[in-house]
């Protein structure tokens, strides 16, 4: 059966790298099955490495990992459990008014304009929030920290001003200060020091899906059948790849139903080439193998696809693939 190997040493090296670069506590983003890596496996390793806080997509994910951490922040709250170490993201004032969640983080819009509280309603939001809830955090999200440009600096500036307003509000009303967090992975490596805030909220850098970080996942598939394909024969649906010479090939047990993005002629794997159209449960590779490494560095593998990103390739890998932890 095809399977995923997770490198604990690379995960730990990425944690150290992020800590040393940002000088800040890590709020580890393990949403969406830890970007396809396996949420429970990643949670256990992060706990072992001393990580105390994580972000997840929803309550189901929070339930899976809540026992490993001091705090689990749910990005998209639906049901409400009010477990002592689960916090909920508030990104809309209507949601705030009717929320039954006790412990919250307020997410403000500093420029992304996706899903956050408007900066025009800061006063009203703070009054409502600190009156009824335990406000554990205030955060915002960078939209363009992975590219050159001024947006990141503008957002940083707006967030610093927001922090000043919140601090003044808390002083005036004699309230405990919430924690502040802004930077995603690209933000950390772009601006480096984030010690002016409390956490950095990183995902892809933990998993090695961007420059200067080490890949945590490698993906393997097993041989289903080894066979010679003869000169001028074509393989698979619609015969999209024709062999120029007699060639030994291996059909391996991974296909697009496992989450491999579709290809219709060639896909460069770590040591060989997959050819023809990928099928639902299999694909054909050149050479004779018992086991094939599909990729051991998603940054390289992503170059096969002009129109996607490492996040997409990782997050699509299905939970049914077995995860094996190695050092």
Ligand X SMILES: *Cc1c(COP(=O)(O)O)cnc(C)c1O
Which residues of this protein are in contact with ligand X, per CB under 6 A?
A: 29, 31, 75, 141, 184-186, 201-205
d(CA 115, CA 126): 18
- Name the residue nearer to ligand X (CB basis): 204 or 317: 204
Q: Which of 70, 171, 225, 237 is catalytic?
A: 237
Asked if residue 283 lies in contact with residue 289, where contact means CB atoms within 8 angstroms, the answer is no
Asked if residue 69 lies in contact with residue 26, where contact means CB atoms within 8 angstroms, the answer is no
d(CA 156, CA 153): 5
Asked if residue 200 lies in contact with residue 179, where contact means CB atoms within 8 angstroms, the answer is no
Three-class DSSP category at 249: strand
- Name the residue nearer to ligand X (CB basis): 75 or 180: 75
Nearest-CB residue to ligand X?
203
Asked if residue 249 lies in contact with residue 229, where contact means CB atoms within 8 angstroms, the answer is yes
- Name the residue nearer to ligand X (CB basis): 29 or 267: 29
- Name the residue nearer to ligand X (CB basis): 80 or 144: 144
- Name the residue nearer to ligand X (CB basis): 74 or 135: 74
Q: Smallest gap, in angstroms, from Cβ of residue 142 to ligand X?
A: 8
Give residue 19's region: left, alpha or beta (phi > 0; psi -120 to 50): alpha
79, 137, 180, 218, 307 from 198: Cα distances, Å = 28, 9, 5, 32, 35
DSSP 193: -
Q: Smallest gap, in angstroms, from Cβ of residue 254 to ligand X?
A: 25
Q: Which of 31, 66, 179, 277 is catalytic?
A: 31
As given in the structure block, the two tokens for residue 275 are: 């050819």
Q: Smallest gap, in angstroms, from Cβ of residue 14 to ligand X?
A: 11
Asked if residue 169 lies in contact with residue 130, where contact means CB atoms within 8 angstroms, the answer is yes
Q: Smallest gap, in angstroms, from Cβ of residue 74 to ligand X?
A: 11
Q: Smallest gap, in angstroms, from Cβ of residue 225 to ligand X?
A: 38
DSSP 255: -
- State yes or no: is 207 an active-site residue: no
Kindly tell me the number of DSSP H helices and DSSP E strands found in the chain: 11, 18
- Name the residue nearer to ligand X (CB basis): 203 or 208: 203
Q: Smallest gap, in angstroms, from Cβ of residue 112 to ligand X?
A: 9
Neighbours of 26 (CB within 10 A): 24
As given in the structure block, the two tokens for residue 67 are: 């026992």
DSSP 213: S
Q: Which of 167, 158, 160 is nearest to 197 (CA)?
A: 160
- State yes or no: is 237 an active-site residue: yes
Q: Hey, which residues are catalytic here?
A: 31, 237
């Amino acid at each position: 059966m095809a399977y995923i190997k997770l490198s604990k040493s690379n995960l730990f090296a990425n944690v150290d790298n992020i800590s040393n670069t940002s000088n800040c506590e890590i709020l580890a983003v393990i949403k969406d099955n830890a970007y396809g890596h396996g949420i429970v496996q990643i949670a256990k390793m992060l706990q072992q490495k001393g990580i105390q806080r994580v972000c997840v997509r929803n309550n189901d994910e929070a339930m899976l990992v809540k026992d490993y951490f001091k705090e689990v922040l749910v990005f998209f709250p639906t049901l409400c459990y009010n477990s002592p170490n689960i916090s909920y993201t508030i990104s809309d004032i209507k949601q705030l008014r009717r929320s039954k969640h006790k412990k919250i983080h307020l997410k403000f819009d500093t420029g992304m304009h996706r899903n956050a509280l408007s900066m025009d309603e800061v006063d009203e939001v703070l009054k409502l929030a600190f009156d009824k809830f335990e406000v554990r955090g205030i955060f915002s999200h960078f939209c363009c920290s992975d590219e050159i440009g001024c947006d990141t600096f503008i957002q940083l500036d707006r967030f610093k001003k927001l922090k000043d307003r919140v601090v003044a509000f808390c002083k005036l009303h004699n309230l405990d200060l919430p924690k502040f967090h802004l930077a995603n992975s690209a933000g950390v490596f772009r601006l480096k020091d984030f010690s002016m805030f409390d956490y950095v909220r990183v995902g892809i850098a933990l998993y090695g899906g961007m420059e200067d970080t080490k890949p945590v996942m490698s993906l393997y598939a097993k041989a289903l059948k080894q066979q010679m394909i003869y000169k001028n024969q074509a393989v698979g649906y619609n015969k999209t790849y024709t062999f120029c010479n007699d060639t030994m090939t291996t059909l391996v047990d991974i296909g697009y139903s496992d989450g491999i993005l579709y290809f219709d002629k060639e896909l460069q794997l770590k040591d060989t080439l997959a050819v023809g159209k990928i099928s639902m449960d299999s694909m054909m590779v050149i050479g004779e193998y018992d086991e094939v490494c599909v990729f051991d560095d998603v940054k390289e593998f992503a170059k096969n696809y002009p129109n996607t990103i490492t996040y997409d390739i990782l997050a699509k890998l299905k939970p049914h693939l077995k995860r094996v932890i190695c050092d």
